[in-house]
Every structure is written in structure tokens, then in C-alpha cells.
Structure 1
Amino acid sequence: MVQVSKIVKWFFIVAGTILATLLALCVFAFWYMNSGIFGMDSFDKQAWHKKTTNEQDATCYRGGMAKDIIDKLLSSKTTREDVVSLLGSPDGNSTENSYRYVLGMCSGFGFDYDSLHIYVDGQGYIFHAKIMQH
């Protein structure tokens, strides 16, 4: 009887630990998918345009401002000229209707760059913006 009691006790300890770990992972995943590192900072035009060093290039030097840009600064009334005035000329691999701005290496593994992609319609207005990892 004592042996069964110990087994049941350990079962509940292990099950509780597993459930607590799963809950913590779910909370982290919810946070990361809703803002994560991309929603940590408000947009700062001076910080956005700041020249980066080689050491900073391997960091998430613009990533914290990306969600703020998408949520508060870009709308269907924003024109391509407004975007360039605010964020500067797009980085490489941009077209007339798709602007790309490098955010840095935000994944945490330090080998993939993240970018803010802004899409412009035929009339020159923003219709979509998203963060992509390359």
C-alpha cells in the first residue's frame, strides 16, 4: 500500500511539472506570436536611421519598432512617399510595389535576417505590411 501511494504521488508531481511546462510554453508562444521582440519599442525615427556597425548588424537593431510601425504608422491612407519620408529608401530586393526594410537578426539564432515588407497598390497606397524572416 505504501509503495502504491509513492507511485501515485510521483505521478502527480511529474504530471504537474509537465502541465506547468506546457502552460509556460503556450504563454510564451502567445506573447511571441502577438508581438514578441517586434513589439518591444515605439518607433524612433532617429534610431531607425542610425548607421549600424558590423557588430550591430548581427543584432535585432530595428526589430523592436516593427510592430509599432505596422500598427500605428501605416494605414490604407499612407502613400509610398510617406513611407520613404518616414523610413528612408527601401533596402535591397525592393520593387516599385514592394518595399523591404531590414530589421536585423531577430530570430535569436543569429543567422537569418528579418525584414519589414510593405506592399503598395497601383494608386501608390499601402495595402499590406508584414514581418518576414529570410
Structure 2
Amino acid sequence: MVQVSKIVKWFFIFIGTALGTFLALCVFAFWYMSSGIFGVDSFDKQAWHKKTTNEQDATCYRGGMAKDIVDKLLSSKTTREDVVSLLGSPDGNSTENSYSYGLGMCSGFGFDYDSLHIYFDDQGYVSHAKIMQH
């Protein structure tokens, strides 16, 4: 009888640990998919325009502000000129209808760069924006 109660006790400990781990992973996945690292900071124009060193380039130096830019600062009434006034000139891989701004290496593994892509309609207004990992 004592042996059976020990087995039952360890079974419940195992099940509780497994469920707790699964729940923690689900919470982390929800956080990461909803905003993750890209939603931890409010937009700061000075920080956005700050020159970076080679060491900082390998960090997520702008990533924390990206979601705030997409959610609060860009709208269908924002023009190309407004975007340049706010974020500066776009990076080299930009076109007339798509501006790209580097965010740094935000993946956590330190080998993929992320960028904020802002797309414009034919009248020059923001149509949508998204954060992309390359």
C-alpha cells in the first residue's frame, strides 16, 4: 500500500510539472506572437536616430520600438514625407512604394536581422507596415 501511494505521489508530481511547463511555454508563445521583443518600448525619436557602433548593430537596438511605431504612429493618413520626418531616410533596400528600416538582430539567436517595412499606396500614404526577419 505504501509503495502504491509513492507511485501515485510521483505520478501527480510528474503530471503537475509537465502541465506547468506546457502552460509556461504557451504563455511565452502567446507573448512572443502578440508583440514579443518588438513591443517593449515606446517610440523615442532620439534613440531611433542614435548612431550605433558595430557591437550595437548586433543587438536589437531599435526593435523594442517597432510595434509602437506600427500601432500608434502610422496611419492611413501618414505620408512618405511624414515617415521620413519621423524615422529618417529609409535603408538601402527601399523603393518608392516600400521603405525599410533596420531594427537590429532581435531573434535572440544573433544571426538574423529584423527590419520594419512600411508600404505606401499610389497616392503616397501608408497602406500597411510589418516587422520582418531576414
TM bracket (short chain)? over 0.9
Residue type of the partner of 1:112?
A: D
Q: Runs in 1 of length 4+ with deviation above 6 angstroms? A: none
Identity %: 90
Residue in structure 2 matched with residue 88 of structure 1 by the alignment: 88
CA RMSD of aligned residues (A): 0.8
Residue in structure 1 matched with residue 11 of structure 2 by the alignment: 11
| Deviations, residues 46-65 of structure 1 (Å, cap 9, x unaligned) | 11011100010000000010
How far apart are 1:11 and its partner, in Å? 0.8
Gaps of 5+ in 1: none
Residue type of the partner of 1:34?
A: S
Gaps of 5+ in 2: none
Residue in structure 1 matched with residue 33 of structure 2 by the alignment: 33
TM-score, normalised with respect to structure 1 = 0.97
Say whether residues 1:106 and 2:106 are aligned partners.
yes
Structure 2 distance, partners of 1:80, 1:11, is 61
Residue in structure 2 matched with residue 123 of structure 1 by the alignment: 123
**Pairing of 1:29-68 with structure 2 (within 5 A):** 29-68=29-68
Residue in structure 2 matched with residue 77 of structure 1 by the alignment: 77
Number of matched residues?
A: 134
Structure 2 distance, partners of 1:132, 1:8, is 48
SS in 1 for 2:132: strand
